[in-house]
Amino acid sequence: MQVIPAIDLRDGCCVQLVGGSYADERVRLTDPVGVAARWADAGFRRIHVVDLDAATARGSNRETVRELLAENDISVQCGGGVRDLDSIEELLAAGASEVVLGTKAIEDREWLEKAAGLYPGRLIVAADARGRNITTRGWSETVPLNVTTFVRELAGLPLAAILVTAVEFEGRLRGPDAALIGEIAAASRVPLQASGGVSSLADLHDLCNAGATGAIVGMALYTGVLEARAIMEEFPQ
């Protein structure tokens, strides 16, 4: 399993929120490009970048994203507010290894199928969940759609991966929802990335045993609860 540091962008800074709440920001670093370089120097070969402002229609960090892509030679999967084909093309042209799609992919299946056909193996669908239901628009809206059912319906699309964030676990350092990840892994043939709640090496092993091929880690790394060196020793890349 590949462990992937998260770089969540807000107001041009790298931040960490609890439960996706803008009112509960626990980490703020003013140099996201430097943060990415730090993770690369630690041995990580992939980072996960999300433009939180774009995802929640509060603004855009696109210039910071472009700088991140230009300054780093590791794989960077980018998402947040990507809702048209031009944005996908722009991010891939700028150097993103994959583009992460959320709200638009969930709300418009025909569009998702078209995008996946145009960019096979380059798109990741974010099927974020509150409880067992899908949440969209920067985690501000929860829809009556079971996340496992949704993931199962994506079978056959040439996706790079599916990313599932357990929103209620996000940033709380209380362990991940390994049971949810296990359910989804059993329902999908697409590589599965998991996010939310990781606080220890044991948590990472739980996700790996549940079937995750990748784990996004944020709060634990930024607060020092988990050390990059320990992760690299346990999950070399």
Would you say the C-alpha torsion 140, 165, 167, 183 has a positive or negative sign? positive
Which residues does the annotation mark as catalytic?
8, 128
Q: In what order do the strands lie in the sheet with 129-130?
A: 129-130, 133-136, 141-146
What is the reported pLDDT for 229?
97
> Could you report the per-residue pLDDT of 81-126, keeping only the tens digit for each?
999 999 999 999 999 999 999 999 999 999 999 999 999 999 999 9
Please state the length of the chain: 237
* 0.75 surpassed by pTM: yes
Using alpha carbons only, give the angle 190, 82, 111 rounded to the nearest 5 degrees: 65
Stretch (H or E) spanning 196: none
- pLDDT tens-place string over residues 31-61: 999 999 999 999 999 999 999 999 988 999 9
Q: What are the residue ranges spanned by the domains of the chain?
A: 2-234
119-154: per-residue pLDDT in tens?
999 999 999 998 889 988 877 788 899 999 999 999
- CA 9, distance to chain mean position in Å, is 12
The domain 2-234: what is its CATH number? 3.20.20.70
119's CB contacts (< 8 A; 6+ apart) are: 88, 92, 99
Token pair recorded at residue 59: 């603004």
